[in-house]
Amino acid sequence: MSDGARPVALVTGGSRGIGRAVVTRLARDGFDVALCYRSDTGAAEQVAKEATALGARVLTQSLDVADPAAAREFVNRTEEDLGPLDAVVTSAGIVRDNPLVLMDDDQWRDVISTNLDGTYTICRASVFSFMKRRTGTIVTMSSVAGVYGNATQSNYAASKAGIIGFSRSLAREVGKYGIRVNSVAPGLIETDMTADMSDAVKKQILGKVPLGRFGAADEVADLVSFLVSPRAAYISGQVLGIDGGLVV
């Protein structure tokens, strides 16, 4: 735990969807929270207001997580303003779906850059602080698409599979310093990414989910809350699915 009264967590993609739910859940758990976002300042300010109401000190910053210098600056600013990091959650992500034959180079590069490179830059900027203090936990956000693949999502699935390989490798590398690294693989979660689906598409997809519903972002945040807590002290290098039985 950090030197202050509350532990400190950093969450990327914290203004919307799963990241937003993680910010408020960790604030409820007693963390001070730094969150970054790409462009929606209004949404970031709203989630910061909610986390502050839960007793957290909150730092917000707009940045491109794929930019190594920006990632380092954000991590340094977090530790200067809030204290040494205890947990990092990499939730920033985008989709640019298309069949591979129709996918353009920018659609491929944008997804890989934000999802995979963004995970690397934040973890790379954070891990030395963890190593020096021989403590810390990292949760990366993968997807069922990264485990099993998904048609028209070769870019997204590649980025999320890369996150799994990255996370497992890092867990082996830094475990001797007391640092835990795990990855969460959500299935169909009710967020702005699924809001644009037609009712017909939703019905078709839900027919494949044994529990018969979309998951909630708060349910993913509950899993993240567990993984960064002492209750998960012997869990590292794992990929934990939360998908309503989709891949059974």
pLDDT digit string, tens, across residues 101-150: 999 999 999 999 999 999 999 999 999 999 999 999 999 999 999 999 98
Count of the separate structural domains present in the chain: 1
- What's the mean pLDDT in 145-174? 96
pTM of the model: 0.95
Tokens standing for residue 210: 């044994």
Three-state SS string across the chain, please? CCCCCCCEEEEECCCCHHHHHHHHHHHHHCCEEEEEECCCHHHHHHHHHHHHHCCCCEEEEECCCCCHHHHHHHHHHHHHHCCCCCEEEECCCCCCCCCCCCCCHHHHHHHHHHHHHHHHHHHHHHHHHHHHHCCCEEEEECCHHHHHCCCCCHHHHHHHHHHHHHHHHHHHHHHHHCCEEEEEEECCEECCCCCCCCHHHHHHHHCCCCCCCCEEHHHHHHHHHHHCCHHHCCCCCCEEEECCCCCC
Domain membership of residue 19 (yes or no) is: yes
Is the pLDDT assigned to residue 43 strictly greater than 80? yes
CATH of the domain at 206: 3.40.50.720
Percent of the chain with pLDDT over 90: 90
Domain membership of residue 247 (yes or no) is: no
Is the pLDDT assigned to residue 195 strictly greater than 80? no
- What's the mean pLDDT in 158-166? 98
- pLDDT value at residue 204: 81
Residues 6 or more apart from 142 whose CB is under 8 A from it?
160, 161, 163, 164, 167, 183, 184, 185, 239
Active site includes 156?
A: yes
- pLDDT value at residue 219: 98
Residues 6 or more apart from 89 whose CB is under 8 A from it?
9, 10, 11, 12, 19, 22, 26, 138, 139, 140, 141, 224, 228
Active-site hit among 37, 120, 148, 156: 156
In angstroms, rounded to a whole number, what is the distance separating the alpha carbons of residues 81 and 211?
43
Are the CB atoms for 111 and 155 separated by under 8 Å? yes
Are the CB atoms for 21 and 99 separated by under 8 Å? no
- pLDDT value at residue 203: 83
Domain membership of residue 100 (yes or no) is: yes
Mean pLDDT for the chain?
A: 95
Domain membership of residue 3 (yes or no) is: no
Q: How confident is the model at residue 248 (pLDDT cuts 50, 70, 90)?
A: confident
Domain membership of residue 161 (yes or no) is: yes
Q: How confident is the model at residue 2 (pLDDT cuts 50, 70, 90)?
A: very low
Domain membership of residue 79 (yes or no) is: yes
- What's the mean pLDDT in 32-47? 97
pLDDT digits (tens, 9 = 90+) for 219-236: 999 999 999 999 999 999
- pLDDT value at residue 224: 98
In angstroms, rounded to a whole number, what is the distance separating the alpha carbons of residues 91 and 219?
14
Nearest CA-CA partner of 217 in 53, 40, 14, 10 = 14
Is the pLDDT assigned to residue 1 strictly greater than 80? no
Are the CB atoms for 159 and 107 separated by under 8 Å? no
Q: Which domain holds residue 61?
A: 8-242
Domain membership of residue 131 (yes or no) is: yes
pLDDT digits (tens, 9 = 90+) for 63-111: 999 999 999 999 999 999 999 999 999 999 999 999 999 999 999 999 9
Domain membership of residue 101 (yes or no) is: yes
